Amino acid sequence: MLGPDTMRIPRWLVLSLLVPALWGLWGALTEIPEKWLNPPFPPTLGYVVWSLTMVPFSIFALSKINWKMNWTAKTIGYGCAVGFSGAAGQLLLFWVLEQGPAYLIFPIVCLSPVVTVALSWTLLRERTFPLAVAGILISLPAILLLAYQEPANTVVHGYSWLFGTIAIFFMWGLQAYFMKSSANVMSSEELFVYMTITGIALSPFAIAMNSGFMGGSLKGVEWTTAIQTLNAAGCLLFVYSVREGKAIIVVPTVNGLFPLVTIVVSLLIYRRFPSRYNFAGMILAVAAVLLMALDEVRHSPEAVVTSP
């Protein structure tokens, strides 16, 4: 029997915990086709496989809305904004990693929740509670520390990689904002279908980026498909979690937890120990998520269940 002060975990929070579990596992396994197979499976073709793994989840989403899509100017506009900002950012990331240092690129890109939080606070008027605000502020250095990589002897080609990295930073921050701001225009299922369409539409560019592979072996496509399915499933749940919760809470939670999961899984699989910076980020991420989640749940109208 549930007591008068029993807390019930809201659905958005459950989804916000499932997404980093899927993405974190994907992040830990994604290097297997590229680094463990001979010949390696090119990451740009991994993008193509990812876009195709979105299709089964789109079919599931369409079945939930009785196969009906609204093809209006607003839905197409929002769908393309969300889809292209995410997919184009992913493709651009492949290019900037060839031009600049990963240890600088990843920390900048991973701080994209700053854009989402700022826009959600100012334009959507999303508000939260004092402890949750503290959690949001703590999550930002946590994400930065989790994304930190040791400097390597990387050949840097000018400064174009920096402009590309800043573009990804804004694109991924805007993507989550558009997910939330489009809630009154289209359903979560419709939005995910648009994300799938735009992802596939950019596949020819991914193939062109790896033209030297054309005609080569596709060994590893099975591994890549299985791993990218985790990413696609996480994408669908991320749409639901952003729509059902507050973007200023959901986005920092997901971005703070999924690299933490990746680090833990990498430790278990590869015996790859986190640096002292990563370890500090793990502690801060857990503290931030606890502050955000518990404060939101405590103030939620659905949080308290009274026993009969």
89-128 pLDDT, tens digit per residue, is 999 998 888 788 888 888 899 999 999 999 999 999 998 8
82 within 8 A of 245, measured Cβ to Cβ? no
Query: Which segments of the chain have a pLDDT < 50?
Result: 1-2, 4, 214-216, 303-308
How many Å apart are CA 60 and CA 65, to the nearest integer? 9
Rounded to the nearest angstrom, the gap between the alpha carbon of residue 168 and the centroid of all alpha carbons in its chain is 13
How many Å apart are CA 13 and CA 297, to the nearest integer? 9
Could you identify the residue written with the tokens 């991420």? Answer: 285
Question: What confidence score (pLDDT) does residue 213 get?
Answer: 52
DSSP-derived letter for residue 7 is E
Question: What confidence score (pLDDT) does residue 13 get?
Answer: 92
Within 8 A by CB and 6+ apart from 256, the residues are: 20, 139, 142, 143, 146, 285, 288, 289
Question: What confidence score (pLDDT) does residue 211 get?
Answer: 61
Within 8 A by CB and 6+ apart from 73, the residues are: none
Question: What confidence score (pLDDT) does residue 1 get?
Answer: 45
DSSP-derived letter for residue 6 is E
Q: Where are the domains of the chain?
A: 21-301
Closest C-alpha among 62, 50, 61 to residue 23: 50
